[in-house]
């Protein structure tokens, strides 16, 4: 079972994204779709997220800020999320170098949305190994 967190402050975009991601995912996969960064932190703390789909520019009152980037920076500080795939949703350009070099972003989904791009990048990101395998110990008897 994969757990996917979508952080998108625009309700229409969030619903559209969630719909397409659900079509790509298997029925047993869990999708957390939230509009507030605080909710995303809660989901990340309480669940083992396998894929983040994060809007870079979030409304903060009447203005926009890069709260999505800050969220991913904080996730990368946690060992369990150091290499979890991140797909950034953005209408911005030239943010690529920072997000790829420093935050290990897997891919981008640019606005306006292209359904085929969403399908492709989500399917690719879900191919990453999810949970770390449990360590198994073997004992051997020596005669």
Q: What is the pLDDT of residues 11-62, one digit of tens each?
A: 999 999 999 999 998 778 899 999 999 999 999 999 999 999 999 888 876 6
User: Which position has the higher pLDDT, 139 or 8?
Assistant: 8
What pTM did the predictor assign? 0.73
Q: How far is CA 51 from CA 8, 15, 37, 65, 131, in A?
A: 14, 17, 16, 22, 11
Q: pLDDT band at residue 133, thresholds of 50, 70 and 90?
A: low
Q: Which of 89, 96, 82 is nearest to 128 (CA)?
A: 82
Query: What is the rounded end-to-end Cα distance, in angstroms, of the chain?
Result: 43
Q: Residue range 100-107: average pLDDT?
A: 78
What H or E segment, with its residue span, contains residue 55? strand 51-55
Dump pLDDT digits (tens) for 67-83: 999 999 999 999 999 99
Q: pLDDT band at residue 122, thresholds of 50, 70 and 90?
A: very high
For residue 92, is pLDDT > 80? Answer: no
């Amino acid at each position: 079972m994969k757990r996917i967190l979508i952080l998108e402050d625009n309700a229409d975009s969030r619903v559209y994204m969630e719909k397409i991601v659900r079509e790509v995912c298997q029925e047993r996969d869990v999708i957390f779709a939230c509009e507030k960064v605080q909710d995303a932190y809660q989901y990340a703390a309480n669940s083992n997220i396998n894929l983040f789909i994060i809007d870079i520019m979030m409304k903060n009152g009447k203005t926009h800020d890069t709260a999505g980037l800050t969220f991913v920076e904080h996730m990368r500080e946690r060992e369990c999320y150091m290499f979890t795939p991140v797909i950034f949703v953005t209408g911005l350009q030239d943010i690529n170098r920072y997000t790829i070099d420093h935050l290990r972003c897997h891919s981008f989904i640019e606005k306006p949305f292209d359904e085929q791009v969403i399908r492709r990048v989500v399917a690719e990101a879900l191919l990453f190994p999810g949970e770390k395998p449990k360590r198994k110990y073997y004992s051997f008897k020596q005669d």
